[in-house]
Amino acid sequence: MEKVRNYTLKIWRQPNAQSKGEFKTYEVKNISTGSSFLEMLDILNEEISEAGEDPVHFDHDCREGICGMCSLFINGRPHGPEEEITVCQLHMRTFPNNTTITIEPWRAKAFPVIKDLIVDRSAFDRIIQSGGFVSVNTGSVPDGNAIPIPKQNADLAMDAAACIGCGACVAACKNASAMLFVSAKVSQLALLPQGQVERKKRALAMVDQMDKEGFGSCTNTGACEAECPKGIDLSNIARMNREYFTASLTS
Amino acid sequence: MGWFIKIFGSSLGKKLLMSLTGLFLISFLTVHLIGNLSVFSQDGGLAFNAYAKFMSTNPLISTVSYLLYASIILHVIVAIVLTSANKSARPVKYKQLNAKDNSSWESRSMALLGILVLAFILLHLKDFWWQYKFGGSYQFSEDANGNRDIYALVIQQFSTTFGLASYLIGLLALFFHLKHGFQSAFQTLGINHNKYTPAIKNIGLAYSIIVPLCFASMPVYVYFFK
Amino acid sequence: MSLDSKIPEGPLAEKWTKHQFNLKLVNPANKRKYDIIVVGTGLAGGSAAASFGELGYNVKSFCYQDSPRRAHSIAAQGGINAAKNYKNDGDSVFRLFYDTVKGGDYRSREANVHRLSEVSNNIIDQCVAQGVPFAREYGGLLDNRSFGGAQVSRTFYARGQTGQQLLLGAYSALSRQIAAGKVTMFTRTEMLDVVIIDGKARGIVTRNMVTGKIESHSAHAVVLATGGYGNVFFLSTNAMGCNASAAWRAYKKGAFFGNPCYTQIHPTCIPVHGDQQSKLTLMSESLRNDGRVWVPKELSVSEKLRRGELKPKDVAEEDRDYYLERIYPSFGNLVPRDVASRNAKNVCDEGRGVGETGLAVFLDFRDAIARDGEDTIRAKYGNLFQMYEKITADNPYKTPMMIYPAVHYTMGGLWVDYNLQTTIPGLFAAGECNFSDHGANRLGASALMQGLADGYFVLPYTIGDYLTGVPIKKIDTDHEAFTEAEQVIKDRIHKLLNIKGTKTVDHFHKELGKIMWEKCGMARNEKRLKEAKVEIQQLREEYWKDVKILGVNEELNMTLEKAMRVADFMELGELMVDDALDRKESCGGHFREESQTEEGEAKRDDENFSYVSAWEFKGEGAPAKLNKEALVFENVKLTQRSYK
């Protein structure tokens, strides 16, 4: 295996939300196969900065696959071709030498582009604000062991809670639906005794907010699950449907 | 009443309608298929004509049939509403999209498949139902039991290459539509469980193969053997 | 100015309870008339903002990320300590206190640490009530594990994502207050200065990172919860955006900076692979429970390994040096972080390091797999092994992992008193941003505990006490102190954008990192520290002449954001060096080569250095002034740490 590789990059450039964007083509050379994808972009940015061009803007922060900030649509797939990782965990050895890599931002009405590859995902925050919490104030809570929780339920809740809110589910879905994201939070709290009191209200409110944000609806293609960097399961969507219908009929 | 409107105004409520009407249509397909199989009884169409008469005159069946028409219409209307909302949820399309790596073709093509199936249904209704109920260009004769001989119409329709081909295309579309739709309806209803989901998926796959195949066997049988 | 730590009188175990009673309360009807600014939405900032909102204050919360849910607390893997003693293995508030003071190498305040241990239990209860899915046993009760060499099992965890789950808990509480209208959230907004009026912190100046707009926000009190400054080293396990600017701006406005030289170097990170790297990845410390650390005994073997002429698994048992087990027979591979890191550096300095760069040691699971079976190891560490393989393309089941230490956490930070107030009245600091609880070295699973303790259970009390002394009348942002501060920032941005030099911001950041890592890193000595000071000064001078920043202020401009942060890092770096020069002893994460035992272990000098260094800004170009807060130990006996 060669140690360094060359690529042609086709990158979406858009100076700000108002302007019309376009693809620009760049060449990068001598990229170490051990480099991460974002390090490759760092190198590109160093080079184009030196040449006097505004660097390519992209969201990134922790660079270890947990903060959910990075969000690139690479060669037709969110977070690139590998399974269950984010862009920051993607390495250049995955991409053959002398190939073209297309990089686009997440595309959804609810995720407008801010600049280049950066989108506004505050819709997700508003969905959580509509009900993705347990209404307990600091203090005045029972002992942590006061309510035993079956391990199986705790584990399922953790599976759902692993969501990093990156938006790959929306990006992957042909309808730009946010069902996997919303259902992960609804499921986590529906599975735990602490979430019971507000269970119905939560399901109704979060779905309502999701619709208001302009996400599409779910057609059960499963693309979200396949692209989720944290492997969040489709059964969460089914659970949210149950929660929502039950809440609608009984609350 | 407010809550009722609220449910079906939401994206999930519309999905619920798609699921319920879809499942109802699936159950109808089964009944329809069982009746139609009488085409194979070697009695010159007597059983088939009796079945057709029963279907068009029994008051219970008539009532259910209105439900059926309503379901088809609702399924189509809600599908149009959802599809247009889904399209507008992504105003700027991707330049490069590799959807085949994360989802099946039929799951992404339900609208197209739905249009094909609808066209097939309309054609089917024009060919038989309209003729039988309202009397079109075709002049029915009576069979030995005094029933109108719709069997003869079936033979006539399926003897043409166009008749055969259009049905086979429609049934192929139905296969794909059911392949995704069957299990998807259960997922929408919230029925997803480690124990049952694999069974639902397998039954759905079997159903989506067997039912269109059985339906297809009729024109093929008529075209080649009658 | 004399330092008053405001530690309450009385026996250690009663100090906090008594103090809570003595703190003045704000009339419930008046709470809505007070505004509090919280900068940062990590465990400390998120929990503080949520708790203030619940109490009825008006809160403005700020973060530089696109959502409060992304603060870097999210990356903590291992767990959170609490003295619940659910395991019946002899844990207690006092033991957690004792372990934390000892682990901090006796450079933290007894009273603060005891309070931390007391409220640790409340944190667990609070998080469970929020729906944090902690790991549980089959009986449905909370599970614990032993972590970082602790003798008791007191660490609560949620898989390898404890930080994420705790942060999402705080984020959900914060979201609830945002929905209730008690907290106004400002995302993609960076704090650039603190505004002081009549000697009190009364607001901040921020830059909207999308539009570039410079804005003022007025309040009755300001809380900084902006994390640590590990990114001074360029390469660290911190997130790319982590920065010291908020704390540094506060320092330049009069807040003292405590113990800047205390940095924690984490022993189990994935080694640097080349000069293109921008970020280091931490592998959980729990790996050391089963992995054995080694390098070859002979230099020649290491060289062959580096050239790829020999495979690690083919190195014979007698040619391997399991150096931690050899030097520390009783703790072995589980020695504390600072000891493990320093020893890795030592063997690599001897030339016995492995990997392409020679800056790596092996962490070998061969024996554990042979003993427990691959399935058992997979069940314990499957995720970590997978992550390692994704990054390095090496399969740790077949070939040993390679690890090397990396900068991970900074114990130093803004000096605060017992109330978490800095030397500027009305300016508070919480979490990693302050210096308070970890002394010279932080124990595993204690960072999450401190962040949440400060935010949920300390600040809500102490800030009320402060506010009772502040007039309710609000100060308008038209006030000249705000307009002046805004102008200073605008000038600074203008100046940076107009240098139009030839070298990128990253170039300078990398250079700074190199100086800091080599001369103020795992081992320090006077000569190199003095060199570092000169080099940093030169680099800074060059920076302001030759840095190249493209784009404009009025748009999203990553380079400009970074340029402002790096400018601050270069000043902070020098203060770290000053502090390291002053502290001629070795303690915790700070190892002075001049102060070691005959066996090469860190040697503390309690007689001369049992103090907190609190540095005071004396003006541009003037040397910072060192103030000392003497540390008094009444409840623990100072011993030289030994893990032999």
pLDDT digits (tens, 9 = 90+) for B100-122: 999 999 999 999 999 999 999 99
> C476 near C191, Cβ under 8 Å?
no
Q: What is the mean pLDDT of residues B137-154?
A: 89
pLDDT at residue A183 is higher than 90: yes
pLDDT at residue A112 is higher than 90: yes
In a domain, B43, yes or no: yes
pLDDT digits (tens, 9 = 90+) for C41-70: 999 999 999 999 999 999 999 999 999 999
Within 205-224 of A, beta carbons closer than 8 Å to C belong to none
In a domain, B123, yes or no: yes
Is the same domain home to A154 and A67? no
Q: Alpha helix (H) ranges present in C393-458? A: 447-452
pLDDT digits (tens, 9 = 90+) for C6-18: 999 999 999 999 9
Q: With bands split at pLDDT 50, 70 and 90, how would you rate the model's confidence at C362?
A: very high
Q: What one-character-per-residue DSSP string does C466-481 give?
A: HHTTS-S----TTSHH
Instruction: For the beta carbon of residue C482, count every other beta carbon within 10 angstroms.
Output: 23
In a domain, B111, yes or no: yes
Where in the sequence is the domain holding B204, given as residue range(s)?
2-88+104-225
Q: Please give the distance of CA C67 from its chain centroid, rounded to a whole number.
A: 21
Q: What one-character-per-residue DSSP string does A159-183 give?
A: HHHT-----HHHHHSTT-B-HHHHH
> C41 near C174, Cβ under 8 Å?
yes
C69/A68 CB distance under 8 A: yes
Is the same domain home to A98 and A153? no
In a domain, C92, yes or no: no
| B88 near A CB under 8 A | yes
Closest-CA distance, B150 to chain A, in angstroms, reads 39
The structural domain count of chain A equals 2
Which residues in chain A are closer than 8 Å to B3, comparing Cβ atoms?
Answer: 248
In a domain, A33, yes or no: yes
Where in the sequence is the domain holding C331, given as residue range(s)?
267-407
pLDDT digits (tens, 9 = 90+) for A119-178: 999 999 999 999 999 999 999 899 999 999 999 999 999 999 999 999 999 999 999 999
What CA–CA distance (Å, rounded) separates B135 from A97? 69
Single-letter amino acid, residue C543 = Y
In a domain, B96, yes or no: no
Which residues in chain C are closer than 8 Å to A64, comparing Cβ atoms?
Answer: 75, 237, 279, 281-282
Residue C351 has a pLDDT of 94
Is the same domain home to A47 and A132? no
The structural domain count of chain C equals 2
Residue A1 has a pLDDT of 65
Is the same domain home to C520 and C601? yes
Is the same domain home to C281 and C382? yes
Which residues in chain B are closer than 8 Å to A174, comparing Cβ atoms?
Answer: 86, 90, 99, 103, 108
pLDDT at residue C539 is higher than 80: yes
Count CB pairs under 8 A between chains A and C: 221
The H or E element that residue C627 is part of is strand C625-630
Is the same domain home to A198 and A224? yes
Where in the sequence is the domain holding A78, given as residue range(s)?
4-104
Is the same domain home to A138 and A244? yes
Is the same domain home to A137 and A87? no
- Exposed e or buried b per residue across C196-210, where buried means at least 16 C-beta atoms within 10 angstroms of its C-beta: beeebbbbbbbbbbb
For position A141, which CATH number holds?
A: 1.10.1060.10
Instruction: Name A26's bridge partners.
Output: A9
- The tokens for C108 are 């933290």
What CA–CA distance (Å, rounded) separates C345 from C327? 14
Name the domain boundary from A72, A104, A136.
A104
Q: With bands split at pLDDT 50, 70 and 90, how would you rate the model's confidence at C560?
A: very high
In a domain, A142, yes or no: yes
In a domain, A229, yes or no: yes
In a domain, A208, yes or no: yes
Is the same domain home to A77 and A42? yes
Is the same domain home to C513 and C403? no
- The tokens for C272 are 């640097």
Residue C337 has a pLDDT of 87
Q: With bands split at pLDDT 50, 70 and 90, how would you rate the model's confidence at A243?
A: very high
> A146 near A194, Cβ under 8 Å?
no
Of A102, A110, A243, the CB nearest to B95: A102
The structural domain count of chain B equals 1
Q: What is the mean pLDDT of residues A96-106?
A: 98
In a domain, A89, yes or no: yes
Name the domain boundary from C353, C388, C407.
C407
Q: Is C449 helix (H, G, I), strand (E, B) or coil?
A: helix
Q: Is B159 helix (H, G, I), strand (E, B) or coil?
A: coil
In a domain, B11, yes or no: yes
pLDDT at residue B3 is higher than 90: no
Q: Please give the distance of CA C547 from its chain centroid, rounded to a whole number.
A: 28
What mean pLDDT, rounded, does chain C reach?
95
Q: With bands split at pLDDT 50, 70 and 90, how would you rate the model's confidence at C1?
A: low
pLDDT digits (tens, 9 = 90+) for A41-69: 999 999 999 898 999 999 999 999 999 99
For position C382, which CATH number holds?
A: 3.90.700.10
In a domain, B99, yes or no: no
Query: Do the two chains B and C touch, given a threshold of 8 Å on CB pairs and at least 3 pairs?
Result: no
Residue C263 has a pLDDT of 96
Which residues in chain B are closer than 8 Å to A73, comparing Cβ atoms?
Answer: 94
Q: What are phi and psi of B75, to 5 degrees?
A: -55, -40
| A62 near C CB under 8 A | yes
Residue in the block written with tokens 């580096």: C306
Q: Please give the distance of CA C361 from its chain centroid, rounded to a whole number.
A: 25
pLDDT at residue C527 is higher than 80: yes
Of C74, C140, C175, the CB nearest to A129: C175
Is the same domain home to C401 and C500? no
In a domain, B141, yes or no: yes
Task: DSSP letter for A56, please.
Answer: P
What CA–CA distance (Å, rounded) separates C164 from C75? 6
In a domain, A147, yes or no: yes
In a domain, A188, yes or no: yes
> A58 near A70, Cβ under 8 Å?
yes
| B91 near A CB under 8 A | yes
In a domain, C532, yes or no: yes
Contacting residues for C285 by C-beta, under 8 A, at least 6 apart: C78, C147, C148, C266, C267, C268, C337, C444
Q: Please give the distance of CA B141 from its chain centroid, rounded to a whole number.
A: 29
User: Could you give the ipTM of this predicted complex?
Assistant: 0.98
A145/C86 CB distance under 8 A: yes
Residue C606 has a pLDDT of 96
For position A62, which CATH number holds?
A: 3.10.20.30
Instruction: Name C218's bridge partners.
Output: C203
pLDDT at residue C574 is higher than 70: yes
Is the same domain home to A126 and A237? yes
Maximum CA extent, chain A: 64
Active-site pick, C109, C249, C288, C337: C337
- Closest-CA residue of chain B to A210: B11
Of A75, A216, A237, the CB nearest to B98: A75
What percentage of chain C has pLDDT greater than the value 90?
89
What CA–CA distance (Å, rounded) separates A67 from C454? 22
> C351 near C302, Cβ under 8 Å?
yes
In a domain, A12, yes or no: yes
Is the same domain home to C278 and C399? yes
A104/B94 CB distance under 8 A: yes
The H or E element that residue C296 is part of is strand C292-296
Query: Do the two chains C and A touch, given a threshold of 8 Å on CB pairs and at least 3 pairs?
Result: yes
Contacting residues for C319 by C-beta, under 8 A, at least 6 apart: C296, C297, C298, C301
Is the same domain home to A83 and A135? no
In a domain, C513, yes or no: yes
For position C546, which CATH number holds?
A: 1.20.58.100
In a domain, C548, yes or no: yes
What percentage of chain B has pLDDT greater than the value 90?
81
Q: What is the mean pLDDT of residues C423-448?
A: 96
Of B99, B184, B192, the CB nearest to A223: B99
Is the same domain home to A127 and A245? yes
C337 is catalytic: yes
Name the domain boundary from C351, C373, C407.
C407
